[in-house]
Structure 1
Amino acid sequence: MMARPCLAVTSGEPAGVGPELCLRLIDHDWPGRLVVLADEQMLGERMRQLGMSIPLHSYEPSDPPPAGALEVLHTPCAVPVAPGRLDADNGRSVLAMLDRAIDGCVRGEFAGMVTAPVHKGVICEAGVPFSGHTEYLAESTGTARVVMMLVGGGMRVALVTTHLPLADVPSAITTTALAETLDILDHDLRERFSLTQPRILVAGLNPHAGEGGHMGREEIEVISPVLERLRQTGMDLVGPLPADTLFVPHTLQQGDAVLAMYHDQGLPVLKHASFGGGVNVTLGLPIIRTSVDHGTALDLAGTGRADPGSLFAAVRLAFEMAGVDTIGCAA
């Protein structure tokens, strides 16, 4: 690893806001190197459209950029880019960008990677089945199970299930899935977030955490037995708790993270508290990966109105997870 930690920042869907958010990284003095993976010509065109003038420095591991320059690892688009207009011909270019960043992280060239948003649909239209960054990273690194966690608004919220239809959630919450998720969450809170004895607040699946079996039996038959077994191994687990009162300030203050059973159980609360400044973290990987908490925002692409707050927060958190002091840099 380089003496000054280096993060790879993938610019995401070229027709979205990712490229212009990456250009804004130059606004701050970061505690390490940032290498933006993007098509250099596309970045130059986006700068001209936005009336910006930023010197671009081609990435070389042994050649840090001069002050005031944005370091770019050229990853070409297949066809020209128009802000706000998706083109399936560039779908594979987006994946090539991810592959380069993943490879660099695995080899130790980069201390971690930060991802700007991609468009799942346009990648699928390019002929590559793609359900999201999280799943792609897991497959690319040979990781059997990963955990999605969002950080923001003073909260850390992890999920047992992610992008599933609500009708499929109960059957997906198995003893194995719950136990493995808690193992990963507890481990990474210790290793990546430096928490000596993390306390995890675990939501129930059903209203009122099942009301003693009157509103569902998943808490009795699956969740509680897993929590009790893992407590015997030393994990500090609270629950299952009714989700409607778990997110009140008094309860949240008693834990270091929340484990929600499904996507829309936990994330609406966090995004209400932090949207525009939240960070998506993939736990369980052999590498560090953080991301913005928003999509490609095609309607804002090329306007200069996109808020870089979430990208700044994702970069800051990635540096912190890599053990770098970020006091004094952007939030």
Structure 2
Amino acid sequence: MPAFHTPTPPVLALTMGDACGIGPEIISCLWLDSAMPDALVLGSPQVMHRAAAWVAQARGEHPPVVVEIHDPKNWADVPAGAMPVWAPPGLPEDLIDAPVGQVDVRAGRAAAACIRAAVRLAQTGVVAGIVTAPLHKEALALAGEPYPGHTELLQAEGAPPGQPPAPVRMMLANGQLKTVLVTIHMALRQAIDAVTFESVLDTIRITHDSARLWGVERPRIAVAGLNPHAGEGGLFGDEEIHLIGPAIQAARALGIDVTGPLAPDTVFMRARHAADHPGEFDVVIAMYHDQGLIPVKYMGLDHGVNVTLGLPFVRTSPDHGTAFDLAGTGRANPSSLLQAWRMARQLVSGQGAA
């Protein structure tokens, strides 16, 4: 992991995200703050130039120089401190006219085009990993994409030719807690039905196998129950008895250190790492989206990172959305994107994630 040749020096692809959201602005912040030496932006040079100007104006600084490149392999052939931007095939020519702070089909098409191009660069070894700025799911749907979000699109595009997509899982992490989801972007009624023996066991396996990326060979995995009090012995539901528990037993038979099903209202507190109190577990597996993401996001959006486990390349992203209300102001906080970039750098270098 990754399964392809890593470029030297390793370069990360930064996808622009939704052009009408804060993605272009928080990417621009990274150059203003640290003159990113090893990242290639995939997106519209016009949009990135405009975003850099907004951020610089809000800060009272000079904007970074945006340099359009025509071959992504030449990402380093730009002046020191300049932002290399490659416009991949499929970007709408009038993307710059899409209204900032609003859902627009052109932004959805552009976001999908950037993701697909980034995957191709990762598969061919041009980039070592991908960091994605936020996209808007409604804009993606308007563009005719059959995928509800980044994770599903990356899963489909990352599959080798002629092979079905490999199972992937979404992990949200910060310095205190890591949580992996069995189900992701679907209605809660559907998510309950999607909690099966196979889906839980696959999640445990993927989590265990991926933990070496962040420096843990044998992770201590906790599995949350689906129901209140993990079903209370069948009083509040029997999924823990018939589905989740058997999957945990099967994982243990494979030599995986996994505990559960545990009460969802306390397992995240038990796993939380503090300076004076290390957690009982290295990672918690949650059954559905909000069960796992609320605890991590409650600790602060500035440091959370989304990592897609199971892909043949590293992919991270900030744990927030497009923030249309802040788009165009130059005041969006880039902290989560910076953490996503740092974690991707650690993962592709084999140093593990904090």
Q: What's the offset of the Cα at 1:168?
A: 2.4
Distance 1:148 1:98, change over 3 A: same
For residues 351 and 169 of structure 2, the distance between their equivalents in structure 1, rounded to whole angstroms, comes to 25
Distance 1:67 1:187, change over 3 A: same
Determine the structure 1 residue equivalent to 2:183.
Answer: 161
Determine the structure 2 residue equivalent to 1:285.
Answer: 311
For residues 97 and 21 of structure 1, the distance between their equivalents in structure 2, rounded to whole angstroms, comes to 17
Contact 2:181 2:289 in 1 (8 A): yes
Q: What's the offset of the Cα at 1:28?
A: 4.3
Determine the structure 2 residue equivalent to 1:120.
Answer: 137
Distance 1:151 1:210, change over 3 A: same
Determine the structure 2 residue equivalent to 1:66.
Answer: 79
Q: What is the TM-score of this pair, normalised by structure 2? A: 0.86
Percent identity, please: 40
2:147 to 127, 130, 138: 130
Asked if residue 10 in structure 1 is aligned to residue 15 in structure 2, the reply is yes
For residues 233 and 305 of structure 1, the distance between their equivalents in structure 2, rounded to whole angstroms, comes to 49
Q: What's the offset of the Cα at 1:134?
A: 0.4
For residues 271 and 293 of structure 2, the distance between their equivalents in structure 1, rounded to whole angstroms, comes to 19
- SS of alignment partner, residue 183 of structure 1: helix
The one-letter code matched in structure 2 to 1:130 is Y
- SS of alignment partner, residue 180 of structure 2: strand
Determine the structure 1 residue equivalent to 2:320.
Answer: 294
* Alignment gaps of 5+ in structure 2: 1-5, 160-164, 274-278
2:244 to 203, 213, 223: 223
Q: What's the offset of the Cα at 1:197?
A: 0.8
Asked if residue 203 in structure 1 is aligned to residue 224 in structure 2, the reply is yes
What is the Cα-based RMSD across aligned positions, in Å? 2.1
**Which of 316-325 and 198-207 deviates more?**
316-325
Contact 1:5 1:32 in 2 (8 A): no
Asked if residue 313 in structure 1 is aligned to residue 323 in structure 2, the reply is no
For residues 79 and 112 of structure 2, the distance between their equivalents in structure 1, rounded to whole angstroms, comes to 29
After TM superposition, the structure 1 = structure 2 runs for residues 1-331 of structure 1, keeping only pairs within 5 Å, are: 1-29=6-34, 33-50=38-55, 51=57, 52-59=62-69, 60-62=72-74, 64=76, 65-75=78-88, 76-79=91-94, 80-142=97-159, 143-190=165-212, 192-249=213-270, 253-323=279-349
For residues 152 and 81 of structure 2, the distance between their equivalents in structure 1, rounded to whole angstroms, comes to 35
The one-letter code matched in structure 2 to 1:234 is G
Q: What's the offset of the Cα at 1:287?
A: 1.0
Deviations 1:287-307 (A, max 9, x none): 111011111111101101110
The one-letter code matched in structure 1 to 2:199 is A
Aligned pair count reads 327
Contact 1:316 1:326 in 2 (8 A): no
Q: What is the TM-score of this pair, normalised by structure 1? A: 0.92
**Which of 164-173 and 14-23 deviates more?**
164-173
Distance 1:169 1:86, change over 3 A: closer
The one-letter code matched in structure 1 to 2:194 is A
For residues 256 and 240 of structure 1, the distance between their equivalents in structure 2, rounded to whole angstroms, comes to 15
